[in-house]
Amino acid sequence: MPRPRLLSGKSSVSIGDAGGSRIGGDVVYGLIVAITLTCTCVTTVLQLPKFLALMALLIGTAFNALAVPLFACLSDRWGRRPVLAFGLAGQASFIIE
């Protein structure tokens, strides 16, 4: 069975190719962050166990896996700019005490 195509014509990309390229980048980023945080900062500077750092990374990755499709759906419904403004306001709330 052929894979569904996202675009018709010469420059069409299959859904599997597009999804795989997005997931591949996230996996590489996650591995780099996990190794960097657990082996350097958390264990040497903060003197915390590796388990705690990896658990925090796992929880953050789970929230990311849920947030990406949710905000993509909201972006389709309300538009990109309101969703980006909401995300920016949320990030700013962590900076401002």
Helix, coil or strand: residue 66? helix
For residues 37-63, give the mean pLDDT: 82
Q: Are 77 and 89 in contact (CB under 8 A)?
A: no
Q: Tokens for 30?
A: 């996650």
Neighbours of 42 (CB within 10 A): 19
Q: What is the mean pLDDT of the chain?
A: 76
What pLDDT score was predicted for residue 4?
53
Q: What is the pLDDT of residues 68-88, one digit of tens each?
A: 888 888 888 999 899 989 989
pTM strictly above 0.85: no
Containing H/E element for 33? helix 15-36
pLDDT for position 85: 92
Q: What's the burial of 16, exposed, middle or buried (CB within 10 Å: 0-12/13-18/19+)?
A: exposed
